[in-house]
């Protein structure tokens, strides 16, 4: 899972980019912002998580996720090879530490899109990381986005809304807050925070 070396020389620590962590409540548009940003700036490296869940149709190992067995995941945890990890719906997800470190060493901007629990764990293991909170324009707008998907049962939506209240209350733990009124604007602000030219 570790990134392969591309023969780059390490960047002096004083000019090395920081890891940027993007987090926020479910339905706020994190994935949409990241997809737009990477279309405009493909040089921004988005960390690929390891997961124990099975691939969905069209997903490829090493692209959407690194698909690993429970035993392999146990080894990653035991060996301290994950920056953070969590369990959702019976599957585990985690961020490979070495791949992130290799990209930062090479002077590349690295973005990590994860939930609140993961952001807190990254802050513990990498205090120099920049934590960015993506907030909705309003609570009503977040409710509209979550219910407007039309893909989830009412009880699932209710759980997501309860979780969103907790996540919104954690905004003060982050270094910066961006309000998602426009995907293009937020992507531009995020790039500026990452100091991507």
Q: For the chain, what is the domain count?
A: 1
For the chain, give the percent of residues with pLDDT over 70.
89
Pairing mode, strands 66-67 and 176-179 = unpaired
d(C-alpha 77, C-alpha 71), whole Å: 10
The CATH number of residue 51's host domain is: 3.40.50.300
pLDDT of residue 147: 83
1 lies in a domain?
no
pLDDT band at 2 (very low <50, low <70, confident <90, very high): very low
Q: Is 31 annotated as a binding residue?
A: yes
8 lies in a domain?
no
Instruction: Convert the pLDDT of each residue in 137-158 to its tens digit.
Output: 999 999 988 887 666 788 888 8
Token pair recorded at residue 100: 């992130």
29 lies in a domain?
yes
Q: Is 118 annotated as a binding residue?
A: no
Q: Is 28 annotated as a binding residue?
A: yes
6 lies in a domain?
no
Token pair recorded at residue 1: 């899972």
**Mean pLDDT for all residues in the chain:** 86
Instruction: Convert the pLDDT of each residue in 90-115 to its tens digit.
Output: 899 999 999 999 999 998 889 999 98
Instruction: Convert the pLDDT of each residue in 112-132 to its tens digit.
Output: 999 898 999 999 988 999 999
159 lies in a domain?
yes
Q: Is 10 annotated as a binding residue?
A: no
Q: What is the pTM of this model?
A: 0.82
Q: Is 94 annotated as a binding residue?
A: no
pLDDT of residue 196: 67
Read out DSSP for 54-87? PPPTT--BTTTBEE--HHHHHHHHHTT-EEEEEE
pLDDT of residue 13: 47
d(C-alpha 26, C-alpha 148), whole Å: 13
DSSP 125: H
Q: Is 69 annotated as a binding residue?
A: no
The length of the chain, given as a count of residues = 197
Residues 6+ apart with CB under 8 A from 171: 133, 135, 177
Domain of residue 52 covers 16-193
Q: Is 27 annotated as a binding residue?
A: yes
Q: Is 47 annotated as a binding residue?
A: no
């Amino acid at each position: 899972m570790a990134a392969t070396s591309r023969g780059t020389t390490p960047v002096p620590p004083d000019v090395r980019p920081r890891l940027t962590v993007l987090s926020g409540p479910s339905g706020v548009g994190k994935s949409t912002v990241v997809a737009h940003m990477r279309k405009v700036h493909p040089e921004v490296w988005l960390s690929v998580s390891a997961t124990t869940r099975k691939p969905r149709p069209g997903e490829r190992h090493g692209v959407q996720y690194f698909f690993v067995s429970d035993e392999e995941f146990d080894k990653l945890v035991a060996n301290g090879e994950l920056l953070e990890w969590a369990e959702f719906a019976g599957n585990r997800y985690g961020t490979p530490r070495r791949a992130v470190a290799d990209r930062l060493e090479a002077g590349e901007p690295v973005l990590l899109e994860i939930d609140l629990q993961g952001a807190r764990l990254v802050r513990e293991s990498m205090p120099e990381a920049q934590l960015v909170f993506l907030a909705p324009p309003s609570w009503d707008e977040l409710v509209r986005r979550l219910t407007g998907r039309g893909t989830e049962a009412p009880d699932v939506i209710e759980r997501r809304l309860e979780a969103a209240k907790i996540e919104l209350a954690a905004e003060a733990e982050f270094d910066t807050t961006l309000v998602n009124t426009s995907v293009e604007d937020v992507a531009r602000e995020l790039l500026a925070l990452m100091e991507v030219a």
